[in-house]
């Protein structure tokens, strides 16, 4: 006798949104106040095209640039401004994405470096590499699927128009497991 498998309940099908890499860093001063934040994106495939994007925040400005301004605007509006790192900042103004050629290199063994429009971001000194997946990542009130390889790093800098943003990443080692506010992600995939 062949029995039928019970029907799955509660399963949510998803549509792919993007794949790529998303190195990011928050710098802090000695008192723990954020001094700079950068989110770098290498989009290998997405519903809005491919290319590189830089989102850089300081207490006095927010800059969003990319190879394709439409892609850069979507990344900033749909993802970055809703991440915990951005919502923890004292302000996140409205901004218009601008076109700029973004030179971004992501290397899981050494870190990431990006340059565009007078900005430079460097994230180096990998401390660990571990997989991460979350089937229900709430973003903009919508459940998203997220998976990636997370590489916390020890060092990071942000430079704007030749001037270094003060501060450094927060690095902790809880029970020997390193965590940092400077992270390189690879194999990042989002779905909704």
Q: What is the pLDDT of residue 2?
A: 55
Beta strands in 67-141 (DSSP E): 98-99, 103-107, 111-116, 119-126, 130-139
Tell whether the model's pLDDT for residue 19 goes beyond 80.
yes
Amino acid 142: pLDDT: 93
pLDDT per residue over 111-140, tens digit each? 999 999 999 999 999 999 999 999 999 999
**In sequence order, which ranges of the chain are alpha helices (DSSP H)?**
69-74, 84-87
Taken in order 20, 157, 101, 82, the sign of the CA dihedral is positive
Q: Quick check: helix, strand or coil at residue 76?
A: helix
Q: So what's the pLDDT on residue 3?
A: 53
Q: What is the pLDDT of residues 61-92, one digit of tens each?
A: 999 999 999 999 999 999 999 999 999 999 99
For residue 99, what is the DSSP state? E
Token digits for 126?
A: 């990998």
Would the pTM count as exceeding 0.85? yes
Residue 191 has pLDDT above 90, yes or no: yes
Tokens of 117: 């429009």
Cβ neighbours for 104, distance < 8 A, ≥ 6 positions apart = 40, 41, 42, 52, 54, 112, 113, 114
Least confident window among 3-7, 80-84, 108-112: 3-7
Average pLDDT, the chain: 95
Residue 7: the pLDDT is: 55
Given this model, what pLDDT does residue 50 score?
A: 98
Q: What local confidence, expressed as pLDDT, does residue 174 receive?
A: 86
**Among 177, 183, 185, residue whose Cα is nearest residue 37:** 183
């Amino acid at each position: 006798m062949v029995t039928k498998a019970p029907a799955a309940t509660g399963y949510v099908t998803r549509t792919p949104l993007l794949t790529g890499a998303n190195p990011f860093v928050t710098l802090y001063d000695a008192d723990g106040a954020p001094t700079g934040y950068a989110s770098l994106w290498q989009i290998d495939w997405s519903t809005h095209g491919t290319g590189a994007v830089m989102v850089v925040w300081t207490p006095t400005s927010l800059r969003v640039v990319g190879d394709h301004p439409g892609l850069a605007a979507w990344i900033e509006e749909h993802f970055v401004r809703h991440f915990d790192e951005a919502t923890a900042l004292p302000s996140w103004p409205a901004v218009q994405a601008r076109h700029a050629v973004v030179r971004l290199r992501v290397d899981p063994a050494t870190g990431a470096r990006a340059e565009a429009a007078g900005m430079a971001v460097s994230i180096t000194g990998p401390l660990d590499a571990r997989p991460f997946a979350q089937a229900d990542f709430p973003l903009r009130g919508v459940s998203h699927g997220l998976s990636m390889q997370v590489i916390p790093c020890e060092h990071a800098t942000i430079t704007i128009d030749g001037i270094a943003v003060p501060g450094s990443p927060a690095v902790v080692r809880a029970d020997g497991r390193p965590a940092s506010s400077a992270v390189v992600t690879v194999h990042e995939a989002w779905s909704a």
